[in-house]
Structure 1
């Protein structure tokens, strides 16, 4: 296992190793701190959240208590022996119609005044024993019935209901309501129904929801759920399970609950979703994750800076080595502003200088060796040609008259003069063509053949510099490889793509592809003769002067003749 891990690590690049090391160095201390503080932080958060939830619940419970208390106090102004109750008693006892009308108007005005001046009061209705609505300050629903209201308790002869939808058809909000019986002096009993203002109830029920997205239950003294904002989990009229115990908080159905009971005997329960209750914990975790990301980014940034500090010199080294591999040995002054790398770069530059000097020396020696080989080939060609020519002159002197000998000797003299007079190796197209003409004159006399020579060259190219003695070996190949009586040779010189092209075309018997390949690859069976030596000399001479820029193209077919093209850079 350990070997496998080491093997995997060994495949990591320098950049990955730097990144991993800095990430580990930054995150391990941070994660250790987080783990050590985890329990303490959770305990603090639990205490903070529970305290906040209980405080908010207490505030809501007090608001509900004050609303119920205000309703009770307001109802005191509407029961006997209040002014409106006394007038109501008179209204029920009198038979005087004029007085009834006056009392009815007074009762209605006073009822409107009392409910209007009490901000906590809403709908108020006097209900007779037969459930007739004697007086009201607002409209009442047709299906209104006290028996349908959710009771939340009874205290001091007052029954409390709600929250429930208002019995005013123009109001669809939840309200708190009370009922109380009024005993009149004439032994008649009527019932007062009084609702809270819908805005008061709305503020009570929404304050906690706005703060922490909670839901409410209101329980009566027996623990029955009189009101539920979460009927799917806690339906109305079911018993809330915790009332049998003294617990004031707990967890049930995925909700944390907190309970508070007022003096009227009813209880209010706040339900907070576990997700909401755990929000603070999740936020702390998010903050830790955020800090971990920040630490990770910081470590990556530092590792990136270190990598750049190391990578740039490495790239410079790589570039320098690549230049050496591409034979670019020019010394450059490069600094990385890091002493250790600069010292190594200076050593590399010194090595480049030394390699350049060694290569220059090797090239000089190689060139010298090539020159010696060319000289050797030249000395092999000239004696061979001169011996054959002089032998022919000898027999001509015996057989022919003096004019023929004079012609031949004159041509030979010019040719020898051209070959031997120049100490350098560069000639011109003009001189090379003149030499070729003298050569063909000698060969025509020597072989008793008639040759037609055509020279196609523009005057502007006659003074172009070319290596010496490169056309005669090609012409000799034409004669040796099947040029018959009345042979035809065309020499064309032209410029193409800033290169000089010298084409020598004959109408001889031609060469096979095998013979062409042998000549071009120095594998000809005539390699030891003037034919093989001559073409090899031309190739070596062109390569010596022009390197890879010079080419020899040989095209031939049996019975179709041969075309040899020398393609060299144009020089003046």
Structure 2
């Protein structure tokens, strides 16, 4: 028979479920876990809401006054700014767009007129009644005299055409099958055009109308000229299937002013797009792919505002304006708006500062006085706020503080005496093993070395006992503490055959600084017995003056280090078997607390395999040193 198992929760009754039932205990645990997670999430949400509300409406008087004044100042600025911005933006943008579109429309019309003019002039050179008949007869004539007469006649006619159409910048006639391909040029041409075939001509078609090919802007064919021109190439048939071409060009700059010419169109750039949608001309300061589609270059042109006009033959003229120029007036309005907003906020900050001085500052002064509360009542000076309420409260606080100081002083004296008695008790509990080991050392020296060594050992040992067991004051000079430490180290070196290496460094100007007895010796003793494990071990003792009338004491060893648990045990006086005088780090901590209180600090940094460093920071004077000395003398 299968044994049932029982699930017990505080959310449901006790149920007995067999292992072959469909509902298992995992379902209940998962269900309770999900519910617990949901409750935790709701608790976090409520906590976040409370934090947000506390940030928006703080618990301090200064915070609430600041929030109210900032809200009253910012609200009208924001409302007025939003309203004026949308009105100004809409009106100004419509005016700017209309201005640019008007200019672009006039440029488009000028291009249309130029194209029509090129077509009209080329018609004068066509055959069937035009100048083209003379050109055809000139090409077919073989009589040199007749040929010369017709050449001069054609040249005079072409000159008249040039003068009667000032917009025509240059023209020539190209004879594909003649030994001299280019003739009747209106001015000298560049050499590369004189020797090029029609297929090699560097012209890119913009669009074609009938048999006329209108080329996109390109450098002029004239020698010693770098102007950009629009050109037309017209084929004319004559004779028995023969063809010559008429080339005409007009200046682009007279139709579409270039960017940066100082005119109204300064910082306006142009693109000329063919009827196939490809870019045929650009004077932008950035490179576009040759023949690229305009739609494919939108990303490269995102820094410009574009306007476009389409010609009757499908070509498109696009003007581009830098957005910084396009939005210049709007940006100026934004800057002015920001300046006015900042001035309003500055006035608000000034009002908050005034309120802070009038209300919050007296409260802050009282708060600082309470935080600096000490035995010295001189810091509780009169508070001049010109507000009677604050002065009455502060006067009551001063009276209360004086009474508290008296009570604290009385309690402190009692506790200080109690601490002195505990220290005296600790000193009286000297570990007898130290004396026993020292006597054994003396016996060994007497047996092995002779009388001189015994004398030296007894002399040092006597000084150590006199310093440790003496009834003099618990406060000594640093030089005395160092002398006692050196005696202790000398005894230990004799005992262990000069095994320990202790280096001490002390600033000369702190030798007479007072210090409690037995601060250095227990720390060095701890380093000897818990740190140094070989003859190569070294202990360094340093005492130096720090800024702010403080003395820094560091005792570092290169021993095996201690674990955090061992350090904690030593500070609690649980360091195991005692050695030396046996009072340890716990004694040092108590001495610092009794004589310096919170003004002193002690830290231990120990790492396994690297060593231990004990750092002590104490003031250069002991509070109540004279009273303490008298108390010890009376004791």
TM range (shorter): 0.3 to 0.5
> Whose RCO is larger (CA < 8 A, sep 6+)?
1
**TM value normalised by structure 2:** 0.42
Larger Rg: 1
